[in-house]
Amino acid sequence: MKITVIGTGYVGLVSGTCFAETGVQVVCVDVDEHKIKMLNNGKIPIYEPGLEDIYKRNVEKGRLSFTTDLKSSLENSEAVFIAVGTPPDEDGSADLKYVLGASSEIGKHMDHYIVVATKSTVPVGTSVKVKAAIQKELQKREVEIPFDVASNPEFLKEGSAVQDFLRPDRIIIGTESEQAIKVMKKLYKPFLLNGHPILFMDITSSEMTKYAANSMLATRISFINEIANLCEIVGADIDAVRRGIGSDPRIGNKFLYPGTGYGGSCFPKDVQALIRTANEKGYPLEILKAVESVNNRQKSTLYQKIFNHFGGKLKGLKFAMWGLAFKPKTDDMREAPSLVIIEKLIEAGAEVVAYDPVAMKEAKRILGNKIGYAKDEYDACIDSDGIILVTEWPEFRLPNFRVLERLLKNKIIFDGRNIYDRAELEEMNFTYYPIGRKPVK
């Protein structure tokens, strides 16, 4: 069996590599020549745990290849997956130019029946547009070639994308075609040996499922952040409250950690896009509007604590920032809370020296010389007026506080992910500012 995957970002590259792992011939296509060149030279443009191993193995076995030439990749392919970006448009709706551009390209080059599956996160109604874009090109060519469209939203998480793809909780396929169902069943069977389901549904419901899932998760984050902020005000402790509510199985204890707001390439844009879809239909989504505004506010929470501690006098101070990526185990900094905190600190005249185990290259690309870059978390602390923990990388969990107290000018930790033990820190005379835990003595 042979397939084509269009787009070699987090989703396309991981999907293509994991499909190849099951013995399928996979050709990954991208318009970005630099990326394709890297991939053909044995280099992966993104950081994702476990990806390099299976990428190398499958390239060596000749099952995985990379090209900018869609036409050749489509030859004999039974399915083509569209996994290109859907960034937010100026008005917050999903920008479909890459998805529809890829669809037109498929229409220009396909020469036999193929299933066109959309993996990109796309708003309700996009499959109709994908179909129309392909048909338009076929008409231009004056040919009639049958094809089917399917919606196949992706649920992998950056940082554990390979494991998520290889062992999915569920596969969602939206299609009206029996032939497309057959092809998708064949492709996904190897991933479902753990008994997890493949759910077939209509295209509209499938497209909606992805947005509903991400919006629900974003809602949980904004909810727990609001409760955490209120805990601080009333003198309650969010850890206790989280355990208290999480032990109710209807609530559950997962995804209930307060922090500096959600970021990344998905939650912010998907929440925005669903709000936009609903607005267009004349049904404003009040909950999601609140989720978004709470999140925007939360991104400044840590800065506010810094500002308050120093009585607003931040000019000339220097801070060590631990973690830049929007979450651990990824180099992705899209919509990362670190960016908001950095911006505000710099505006206030402070200096930031940062360290992230894998996002340094990406940070330099985005921030240039706006901040300093340390060689490790200790290096960042030399003569610093405090540590700002933004991303909970495992290696930040148990630092040597005795070393830190020698390096820091001010023994203060602003902990945006509540990873430290406040009693332990206070015993060592650190001033500690977590999120939603009892106020500092």
Of the candidates 79, 88, 155, the one whose C-alpha atom is nearest the C-alpha of residue 123 is 88
- How far is residue 66's CA from residue 26's CA, in Å, rounded to a whole number? 9
For residues 149 and 119, is the Cβ–Cβ distance under 8 A? no
> Which tokens belong to 426?
């206070």
- The nearer residue to ligand NAD, 48 or 385, going by C-beta atoms, is 48
CA angle, residues 61, 81, 104, in degrees to nearest 5: 125
Q: How many C-beta neighbours within 10 Å does residue 204 have? A: 15
- The DSSP output letter for 440 is P
Site for ligand NAD in 25-54 (CB under 6 A): 29-32, 35
- How far is residue 271's CA from residue 293's CA, in Å, rounded to a whole number? 11
For residues 171 and 191, is the Cβ–Cβ distance under 8 A? yes
Smallest distance from the beta carbon of 255 to ligand NAD, in angstroms?
15
- The nearer residue to ligand NAD, 266 or 342, going by C-beta atoms, is 266
For residues 219 and 291, is the Cβ–Cβ distance under 8 A? yes
86 binds ligand NAD (CB under 6 A): yes
8 binds ligand NAD (CB under 6 A): yes
Confirm whether residue 256 is marked as ligand binding. Answer: yes
- Residue 432, classified by CB atoms within 10 Å of its CB into exposed (0-12), middle (13-18) or buried (19+), is buried
Query: Applying CB under 6 A, which part among 49-57, 83-91, 125-133, 236-244 lies near ligand NAD?
Result: 83-91
- The nearer residue to ligand NAD, 114 or 350, going by C-beta atoms, is 114
For residues 286 and 346, is the Cβ–Cβ distance under 8 A? no
Confirm whether residue 242 is marked as ligand binding. Answer: no
- The nearer residue to ligand NAD, 98 or 322, going by C-beta atoms, is 98
All residues at 6 or more sequence positions from 256 whose CB lies less than 8 Å from its CB, including other chains:
220, 224, 242, 245, 246
> Which tokens belong to 397?
């969990």
x/- contact string, 145-174, with ligand NAD (CB under 6 A)?
A: ---------x-x-x----------------
- How far is residue 149's CA from residue 277's CA, in Å, rounded to a whole number? 21
Query: Applying CB under 6 A, which part among 47-55, 101-109, 374-382, 415-423 lies near ligand NAD?
Result: 101-109
Of the candidates 29, 21, 20, the one whose C-alpha atom is nearest the C-alpha of residue 2 is 20
Is 266 annotated as catalytic? yes
- The nearer residue to ligand NAD, 102 or 306, going by C-beta atoms, is 102
CA-to-CA separations, 174 to 33, 116, 232, in angstroms, rounded = 32, 12, 45
10 binds ligand NAD (CB under 6 A): yes
Confirm whether residue 427 is marked as ligand binding. Answer: no
Considering only 84, 96, 110, 171, the residue that binds ligand NAD (CB under 6 A) is 84
Query: Applying CB under 6 A, which part among 73-81, 97-105, 286-294, 364-372 lies near ligand NAD?
Result: 97-105
Smallest distance from the beta carbon of 387 to ligand NAD, in angstroms?
28
Q: How many C-beta neighbours within 10 Å does residue 216 have? A: 12
Q: Where are the beta strands (DSSP E) in 10-88?
A: 25-29, 64-67, 79-82
102 binds ligand NAD (CB under 6 A): yes
Smallest distance from the beta carbon of 9 to ligand NAD, in angstroms?
2
Q: How many C-beta neighbours within 10 Å does residue 155 have? A: 16
x/- contact string, 265-304, with ligand NAD (CB under 6 A)?
A: xx--------------------------------------
- The nearer residue to ligand NAD, 30 or 335, going by C-beta atoms, is 30
- Residues near ligand NAD (CB under 6 A), total: 27
Binding site: what residues are annotated?
30, 35, 86, 121, 155-158, 210, 255-259, 263, 269, 327, 334
Q: Rule CB under 6 A: which residues touch ligand NAD? A: 6-12, 29-32, 35, 83-86, 98, 101-102, 105, 120-121, 154, 156, 158, 265-266
Q: Binding site for NAD(+), residues?
A: 30, 35, 86, 121, 158, 269, 334
